[in-house]
Structure formats: C-alpha cells, structure tokens
Amino acid sequence: MILGNFNSLDLRSDTGALWENFLISERLKRNNYKNPYTKMYFWRTKQQQEVDLVEEKEGLITGFEFKWNAKKKIKLPKTFVNEYDAKEVIIDRGNFRNFI
C-alpha cells in the first residue's frame, strides 16, 4: 500500500523482500506469544554471506533462509553452520505455515 505498487507478485521486483519481511514480522509475533525467550538475530559477513534470520533458544542456534521460489537446493553458508553448529532450515511457500 505504501509503495503504491499493486501489481501481482510475479510482476514485482521486490517479491523476495516482501516475503522475507512478512515471515520475519509474523515470526516475531509468534515468538512473542509462544517462545518469549527466543532471541532473534541477522547474520552477515564482510564478504556478504548472509542468513536471513537466526534464532537462539535454549542454547540451540537455528539459521533460516527464506525463498519465494526455491527452484534449486539452497544451503546456508558453511561459515555460519560450522562456526555456530547451527541447524539449517529453508522456508518457502510450501512450509511457511509451520514457521509462523
């Protein structure tokens, strides 16, 4: 609404950003209600490797990658997974309901 862009998602260049914003905002709400002690972070290196969302709960770290179109197998950066012994989770249109 604010952007004034009412085109369908397949015609927009910001679909991935909208998807990521939606998932993070809904996850924040969910965690506030169900898991108030979950810490949420973003992760990025100087080399521009990134993880869309990092959650820390009870000493366990999970990295989430959000994809609107998951056409190929997606993996989180090995640097992140190895450094934090993190669980990897890919969220797409097929499994997002359990996430939020």
Domains of the chain: 12-99 (3.40.1350)
Spatial CA neighbour of 41 closest among 63, 70, 13: 63
* 50, 38 contact by CB (below 8 A): no
Divide the 100 residues of the chain into consecutive groups of 10 and give the mean pLDDT of each group. Answer: 77 88 96 94 96 96 93 89 96 95
Half-sphere exposure of 20 (CA within 13 A, CB side): 13
**CB-CB contact of 67 with 15 (8 Å):** no
